[in-house]
Amino acid sequence: MGSTMFRIGGELDVRRLGFGAMRLPTGPGSDRDASLAVARRAVELGVTLIDTAHMYGWGANEELLAEALHPYPDGLIVTTKVGIARSASAAGWRHDASPDGLRAQVDHALRRLRVDRIELLQLHRIDPAVPLADQLGALRELRTEGKVGQIGLSEVTVTELDEARKTVDIASVQNRYSLVDREHEPVLAACEAAGIAFLPWRPVAGATSGVAADVAAVATELDATPAQVSLAWLLARSPVILPIPGTGRIAHLEENVAAAGLHLSPAQRERLDGLDRLPTQD
């Protein structure tokens, strides 16, 4: 499987299996208490990279993580994403990666997370109405001011990644990718060639019955779960992959983290590598 650690942007040492906080309920009461417990348990289990975003509850997820974990232990990186704003549209959101919009979102994130600097800030989506160089130029200025450390992108093509790197160093890419969804294989290859961290979102996706049977067979051989096999496959797939599976349950969190210790044999890896890329079923 290779190293269990990765250095993002040549500076941030993190374990390669992180945690995505999107699924944590942020409302009051017992659900919130459970979310706080999950976030704290992730850190207890050794997770050093937690992913959130302004879009997750429009800041509520960031506030939840601060309540659970601040003051943050040494070595913990809480990464967030900006570039999307709330909207009255049917989708409920709109692009907003204008320089003023990005600056405002970063300032809000700093306040919600109770930090002076966001060590890894990711552009949630490229705004088609704003020149890419302007979007990344604004983030570069925030980095110069010390409000941002490393800069990442989300849901980009190889061409967009190449274009972005002309303006600023890119430390991470967060694209959808899993055992059964390899649409962004070219982006992963580009990241691997450049030493850029690749954070697959939706890393454990359900599959059509044929693929699920193959994954289940490997899981049985390893006395593991299909989800653990999917995560182990990602870790073995490329040394730059840092999966960020999310869950609202401690038992599921513990299962996911344990996948870092799962070893796939060459034959098992070959079997999983060769699965057809069939549509996922959530």
What is the pLDDT confidence band of residue 281, given thresholds at 50, 70 and 90?
very low
Does residue 56 carry a catalytic annotation? yes
Mean pLDDT, all residues of the chain = 94
Q: What per-residue confidence (pLDDT) applies to 212?
A: 85
Quick one: average pLDDT of 86-96? Answer: 93
Handedness of CA 211, 213, 214, 218 (dihedral sign): positive
208-242 residue pLDDT tens: 556 888 999 999 999 999 999 999 999 999 999 99
What is the pLDDT confidence band of residue 1, given thresholds at 50, 70 and 90?
very low
77-90 residue pLDDT tens: 999 999 999 999 98
What is the pLDDT confidence band of residue 3, given thresholds at 50, 70 and 90?
confident
Check pLDDT > 50 for residue 107.
yes
Determine the Cα–Cα distance for residues 192 and 149; give it in Å rounded to an integer.
21
What is the pLDDT confidence band of residue 280, given thresholds at 50, 70 and 90?
very low
Q: What per-residue confidence (pLDDT) applies to 6?
A: 97
Catalytic one among 56, 72, 198, 233?
56
Determine the Cα–Cα distance for residues 154 and 123; give it in Å rounded to an integer.
6
Q: What per-residue confidence (pLDDT) applies to 245?
A: 96
Q: Please state the length of the chain.
A: 282
116-175 residue pLDDT tens: 999 999 999 999 999 999 999 999 999 999 999 999 999 999 999 999 999 999 999 999
What is the pLDDT confidence band of residue 2, given thresholds at 50, 70 and 90?
low
Q: What per-residue confidence (pLDDT) applies to 211?
A: 82
Q: What per-residue confidence (pLDDT) applies to 282?
A: 37
If 0-12 CB within 10 Å is exposed, 13-18 middle and 19+ buried, where does residue 54 land?
buried
End-to-end CA distance of the chain: 27
Cβ proximity of 221 and 268 under 8 Å: yes
- Tell me the whole-structure pTM to 2 decimals: 0.94
Determine the Cα–Cα distance for residues 91 and 86; give it in Å rounded to an integer.
9
> When comparing pLDDT for 276 and 86, which is higher?
86
Joined together, the tokens standing for residue 16 give 């390669």
What is the pLDDT confidence band of residue 206, given thresholds at 50, 70 and 90?
low
Cβ proximity of 40 and 68 under 8 Å: yes
Quick one: average pLDDT of 26-46? Answer: 97
